[in-house]
């Protein structure tokens, strides 16, 4: 009735200013500003009917469930952002330096050797039969026990020894027994482990393996299933960029890099010497070949006595 001078509508909320102060609110304090809410009722005749019958109507804001609802709505987005952040940090750490640094994930993948290199407890007494093979490698045991004596005499001990024989003849056992007999660390890996998952991992593993062995010298490096990585080059379609050939090239380079004071002997085992690359068999690499024969009757009896 002309008492309101200004009115502001914000949805169901109403703010206004009176021309003259009037008693407002439950305490009836005089004031010229007011704030109230308009009930949102779909039936336009309901409110006048309530007023006609003297029903007191209180208009209150709805219960605030927006905080929890908003939080629940944001949870999927927060999880998605956290996943992308974690993926970015992991990729950056592995590929931009962290993975190749000390303690990085890729570094742990490339260097599984140093932590597992131990002196085997197996000796020649645990290898039944194969007397000829044990005699052929006895010189290596003497060299690893006292490399300085050989160095003073100017003697050259083969850097690479190839153990050949049918499956089950005990090539791996003989290699472990050689290290146990000499009391030196035994670094072991299979040829198939050089080529895994990433391009370039084979060459990196070769470098890591030989670096760890040189630090622990005198030591033995044993490569099982050499034919898995040392097949003749040029037979496939990959050419010089084939991952297997890159790994083989790194093995050849590492064996050429041995110096006189490094008492490291590389043993390799294979049952397919006919498929090996000729560069592996030339002098200065795997130039000594030890053949393990199938056990005869006496050897089988000795095997049963051991077990």
3-state helix, strand, coil in the chain (%, to 5): 45, 20, 35
CA distance 248 to 256: 13
**Residues of the chain falling short of pLDDT 70:** 1-2, 4, 7, 9, 11, 41-43, 46-47, 50, 55-69, 92-116, 192-202, 234-243, 257-262
User: Among candidates 177, 266, 185, which has minimal Cα distance to 230?
Assistant: 266
Q: What is the pLDDT of residue 5?
A: 74
| 207-233 confidence digits (pLDDT tens) | 778 888 888 878 888 888 888 888 887
Q: What is the pLDDT of residue 284?
A: 79
Instruction: List helix spans (H) across 123-233.
Output: 131-145, 147-153, 171-182, 201-215
DSSP helix/strand/coil, 182: helix
CA distance 176 to 171: 9
Q: Supply the pTM of this predicted model.
A: 0.58
Q: Are 197 and 110 in contact (CB under 8 A)?
A: no
Q: Which residues pair with 13 in a beta bridge?
A: 10, 37
Q: What is the pLDDT of residue 239?
A: 47
Q: What is the pLDDT of residue 164?
A: 92
Q: Are 231 and 200 in contact (CB under 8 A)?
A: no
Q: What is the pLDDT of residue 98?
A: 45
């Amino acid at each position: 009735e002309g008492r309101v001078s200004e009115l502001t509508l914000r949805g169901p909320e109403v703010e206004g200013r009176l021309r003259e102060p009037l008693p407002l609110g439950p305490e009836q304090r005089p004031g010229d500003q007011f704030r109230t809410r308009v009930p949102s009722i779909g039936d336009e005749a309901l409110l006048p009917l309530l007023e006609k019958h003297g029903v007191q109507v209180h208009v209150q804001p709805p219960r605030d469930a927006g905080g929890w609802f908003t939080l629940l709505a944001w949870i999927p987005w927060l999880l998605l952002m956290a996943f992308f952040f974690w993926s970015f940090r992991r990729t950056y750490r592995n590929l931009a330096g962290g993975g190749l640094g000390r303690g990085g994930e890729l570094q742990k993948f490339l260097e599984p050797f140093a932590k597992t290199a131990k002196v085997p407890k197996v000796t020649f007494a645990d290898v039944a039969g194969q007397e000829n093979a044990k005699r052929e490698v006895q010189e290596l045991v003497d060299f690893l026990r006292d490399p300085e004596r050989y160095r003073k005499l100017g003697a050259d001990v083969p850097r690479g020894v190839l153990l050949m024989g049918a499956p089950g003849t005990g090539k791996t056992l003989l290699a472990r027994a050689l290290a146990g007999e000499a009391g030196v660390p035994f670094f072991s890996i299979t040829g198939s482990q050089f080529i895994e998952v990433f391009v370039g991992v084979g060459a990196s593993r070769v470098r890591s393996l030989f670096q760890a062995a040189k630090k622990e010298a005198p030591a033995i490096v044993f490569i099982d299933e050499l034919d898995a990585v040392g097949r003749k080059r040029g037979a496939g379609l990959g050419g010089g960029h084939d991952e297997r050939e890159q790994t083989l090239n790194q093995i050849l380079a590492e064996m050429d890099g041995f110096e006189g004071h490094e008492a490291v002997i590389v043993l390799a085992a294979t049952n397919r010497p006919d498929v090996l690359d000729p560069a592996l068999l030339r002098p200065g690499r795997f130039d000594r070949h030890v053949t393990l024969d199938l056990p005869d009757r006496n050897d089988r009896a000795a095997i049963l006595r051991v077990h």
